[in-house]
């Protein structure tokens, strides 16, 4: 792997690590892992560079801080400018979970992003949250703060149904009841009951350019990403759009719907462990692996076609 160059947020408008691939004119902005240089981020770089020959820019909110509080969408614009300055002519973006949401959001603002791969995304802007240690909990909602901002203003968001400490209590209860490492699907259902999502809170996916991959599983227990993806399909059917969208929704796969090749890079031995932290993964390991293999093919085909 090419030597890493770390770019601090105070210098370039984003916090990330750039991994150049010699001779590459295409790059992937990858928001995978809790930090831009943790094991998952580095594994993603290794897999992307070996399989596709792309340069990679890994991003995270801050150094060892996965909190999402008014994260500027402009940080992606700054990353795009940085890549262009380094000779990159085609730029893709990928994210999973909350960063899957952020990838969609960024692509809706920046037409320079011509391949967007969103794994387990939401179709709306989430309320902000903090991670760390507080009253025995590792995560809690923001104080009426959005997860993202634009031009210095918080973007409208779906508020969580609960406040601290009830937020953490509900997540613990749901996780224990289902036998999962973490679960919050019921909280999101309750959030939409209490606050039906408003148009200004939905991500304007119809503005996305190029190729769009939406990937999720029905058995996701963090939120109902399959419903969100179907809602995005409905939205695009009702609005003019230019993106070539592919919907990849599977019965089994859990919240960790990663390509199988990436999973093998993250966990060279025992790759199934990545989904066995969820009850569905323990009940359907064969089906989850089949899902990851199918996702690997969909992602591989999309990237290979895009980089031509």
DSSP states of 251-271 as a string?
Answer: SS--S----HHHHHHH-SS-G
CA–CA dist 213, 138 (Å, integer): 31
CA–CA dist 219, 159 (Å, integer): 23
State mean pLDDT over 84-100: 97
Q: How does residue 147 score in pLDDT terms, banded at 50, 70 and 90?
A: very high
Q: Could you give the angle at the alpha carbon of 296 between the alpha carbons of 41 and 288, nearest 5°?
A: 95
| pLDDT tens digits along 219-276 | 999 999 999 999 999 999 999 999 999 999 999 999 999 999 999 999 998 888 999 9
pLDDT at 269: 87
3-state helix, strand, coil in the chain (%, to 5): 40, 25, 35
At 21, give phi and psi (nearest 5°): -110, 120
Which residue blocks in 110-224 are alpha helix, DSSP H? 166-178, 185-194
Q: How does residue 1 score in pLDDT terms, banded at 50, 70 and 90?
A: low
pLDDT at 202: 98
Q: What is the pTM of this model?
A: 0.97
pLDDT at 3: 65
Q: How does residue 8 score in pLDDT terms, banded at 50, 70 and 90?
A: confident
pLDDT at 7: 84
Q: Tell me: domain 5-126+147-152+202-306, CATH 3.40.50.12280, correct?
A: no
Average pLDDT, the chain: 95
To 10 degrees, what angle do helices 285-306 and 39-52 make?
A: 50
DSSP β-ladder status, 26-31 and 55-59: parallel
**Domain range annotation of the chain:** 5-126+147-152+202-306
pLDDT at 65: 78
Here the tokens at position 170 are 């509900």
Neighbours of 256 (CB within 10 A): 23
DSSP state for residue 205 in the 8-state scheme: G
pLDDT at 63: 78
State mean pLDDT over 197-224: 98
């Amino acid at each position: 792997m090419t030597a890493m160059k770390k770019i601090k947020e105070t210098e370039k408008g984003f916090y990330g690590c750039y991994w150049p691939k010699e001779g590459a004119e295409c790059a992937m902005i990858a928001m995978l892992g809790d930090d831009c240089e943790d094991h998952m981020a580095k594994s993603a770089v290794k897999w992307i560079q070996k399989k596709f020959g792309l340069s990679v820019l890994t991003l995270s909110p801050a150094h060892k801080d996965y909190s999402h509080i008014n994260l500027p969408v402009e940080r992606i614009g700054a990353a795009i400018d940085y890549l262009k300055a380094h000779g990159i002519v085609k730029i893709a973006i990928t994210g999973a979970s909350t960063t899957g949401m952020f990838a969609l959001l960024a692509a809706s603002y920046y037409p320079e992003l011509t391949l967007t791969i969103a794994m387990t995304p939401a179709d709306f802007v989430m309320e902000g949250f903090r991670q760390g240690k507080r009253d025995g909990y590792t995560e809690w909602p923001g104080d009426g703060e959005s997860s993202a901002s634009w031009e210095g203003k918080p973007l409208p968001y779906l508020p969580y149904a609960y406040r601290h400490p009830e937020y953490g209590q509900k997540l613990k209860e749901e996780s224990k009841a289902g036998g999962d490492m973490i679960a919050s699907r019921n909280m999101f259902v309750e959030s939409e009951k209490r606050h039906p999502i408003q148009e200004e809170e939905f991500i304007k996916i119809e503005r996305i350019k190029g190729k769009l991959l939406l990937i999720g599983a029905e058995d996701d227990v963090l939120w109902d990403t399959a419903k969100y993806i179907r809602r995005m399909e409905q939205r695009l059917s009702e609005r003019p759009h230019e993106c070539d969208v592919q919907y990849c929704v599977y019965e089994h796969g859990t919240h960790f719907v990663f390509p199988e090749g990436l999973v093998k890079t993250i966990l060279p031995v025992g790759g199934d462990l990545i989904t066995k932290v969820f009850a569905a993964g323990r009940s359907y390991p064969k089906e989850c692996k089949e899902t990851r293999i199918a996702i690997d093919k969909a992602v591989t085909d999309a990237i290979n076609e895009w980089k031509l």
